Amino acid sequence: MSGPVPRAFVSRFHSKSKDSSEALATAAKLPEAEPVPPVTPRQRITVQDILDRRTKAGRLVAPTAAACDADMFKAPSVGKPKAKIWDHNHLSAEAIVREPCKLKAAARFLKTPGIISLGGGLPCPEYFPFSSISMKVPTPSDFHESAPTETVTINKYDASLGNTDAEYDLSIGLNYAQAHGSAQMMRFVTEHTELVHSPPYADWKTCLTVGSTGALEQTLRMLCDRDRNDAILTEEFSFSTALETAGPLGMKVVGIKMDEQGLLPESMDEILSSWNPAERGGSRKPHVLYTVPSGQNPTGATQSEQRRREVYAVAQKHDVFIVEDEPYYFLQMQDSGKPAPRNVDEFLDRLVPSLLSMDVDGRVLRMDSFSKCVVPGSRLGWITASAQVVERYIRHAEVANQGPSGFSQVILHKLLDETWGHEGYLKWLMNLSMEYTQRRDTLLAACEKFLPKEVASWSSPKAGMFFWVNLNHELHPHASTKGILDVEEEIFNSCIKRGALVARGSWFRAEQDKPPTGLFFRATFAAATPENMTEAIRRFGEAIKESYGL
């Protein structure tokens, strides 16, 4: 916590200090429902385990549009419970009635030896105008942009002709595929998920997505119904695009109070325990929580391990399904002065465990993405959830998009699987987290230097890309006549005039129809150069000072 008014900042998160103490009073009653899973050291499989498993399994033979399943790539789940069934009380009307895509399902007949298919309208790769795609990529020994690169090439028939060790090629990757994505990329993300999260129930599955934006829309349509007056829970400040996704679907969004560690379990419990549809415009008691546990957008808050366990316990108590959106999970940073992790095991050990890793019930749908860790333009990510939920998700993906781009899949597979491998990718992520740590520290230093601490306060984020700056509206000289939104607009416009773009806190308010509870701005340290970031914060500081007459 930096700046001189930390308590004010925290209480702003709670809307009003009265509410905040009420929330804390509720908290004491929390762990009644079901026992919180014990905090034990995670037992992970290792990269070597995966390499051994692959050697044993032999070459992956997965031709055009091959169906696959995460179970093909997981360790056997010995002694783990099965996920709960998310029956009609959770799934939406459209999710329940979906049937498999007949043409995709017909692919099962292609396994018949010697069969000639005149079935699906799959173009002949002869007509694909790409005989090879090459790319220059860094090697895991040095990830600096100006370091030497190696050139790797994907040919059209590398795998299909069977005369190389290759398991994937353009003739497969650029044709139609199953909606869950290629077996080749499914193997990579499944192994990666087991390596990092090792979900504690047996029948977890994965499915590639067109990125987490699309995955969220599909998930909300799968879990919520306009006709059922469904409402969803989220942080009181939440990712604006998520809010823009839910609104038009007729879902009421309910904000949970937050502190520096993100959403408050006691606030969540209080909302659910006291839910009265009549007071909530007829909305049904929420059965879905959408949360960004690490480097939350927009507040930058990161839930500690204990916080996550408490959130999970409240979800169990009220039978809430959790959508865990984790684009910034690997952008968890080192505390100032703490040395970098020495190897990927230490890197993984320092990560706050995910909700997925605590999910004994199979009540979490986790969304991962390559947008922040590789490139946003891949429009490629994946979900992990129970077999039932993933099956329904795939049925929707068959008609919503047919899965992600083949270019994205074949290129990311070449880089992550064939060139870097799991260890190399984890090294890349570790390097990235160190780069973001530096960027955060640059922005932090600029805030310390240029923002007026008399009115501004902020936390140093432990993950992600975002700084959340709180201005004390009560100290504004015209607070009595200019409301929070007016001052916000004045400072925003003044910033633009001075040549700095920051995001307005009000864009992220989960409940737009309620009066604003605080004056916030979001600044990212992801995009600009260190010099520009510093200069932009200087301009932002000038805009604040002018408005406050400092």
Structure tokens at 176: 């139609």
Nearest to 356 by CA among 391, 321, 331: 321
DSSP track, 249-276: GT-EEEEEPEETTEE-HHHHHHHHHT--
User: Is the separation of the CB atoms in 1 and 260 below 8 Å?
Assistant: yes
Within a 10 A sphere around the Cβ of 5, how many other Cβ atoms? 18
The residue (of 220 and 314) whose beta carbon lies closer to its own copies is 220
Provide the 8-state DSSP code for 107: G
Phi-psi region of 422 (alpha: psi -120 to 50; beta: other; left: phi over 0): alpha
Output the smallest distance, CB 394 to its own copies, in A.
13
The residue (of 210 and 315) whose beta carbon lies closer to its own copies is 210
Q: List the beta bridge partners of residue 365.
A: 323
The residue (of 177 and 314) whose beta carbon lies closer to its own copies is 177
Output the smallest distance, CB 398 to its own copies, in A.
7
Q: The dihedral of CA 265, 268, 272, 276: what is its sign? A: positive
How distant is the alpha carbon of residue 66 from its chain centre? 27
The residue (of 214 and 518) whose beta carbon lies closer to its own copies is 214
Provide the 8-state DSSP code for 508: G
Output the smallest distance, CB 109 to its own copies, in A.
5
The residue (of 225 and 270) whose beta carbon lies closer to its own copies is 225
Nearest to 313 by CA among 256, 257, 366, 358: 358
Output the smallest distance, CB 121 to its own copies, in A.
5
Output the smallest distance, CB 423 to its own copies, in A.
15
Convert 517-540 to b/e letters by CB count within 10 Å (16 or more is b).
bbbbbbbbbeebeeeebbbbbbbb
Output the smallest distance, CB 161 to its own copies, in A.
14
The residue (of 309 and 392) whose beta carbon lies closer to its own copies is 392
Output the smallest distance, CB 333 to its own copies, in A.
15
The residue (of 327 and 362) whose beta carbon lies closer to its own copies is 327
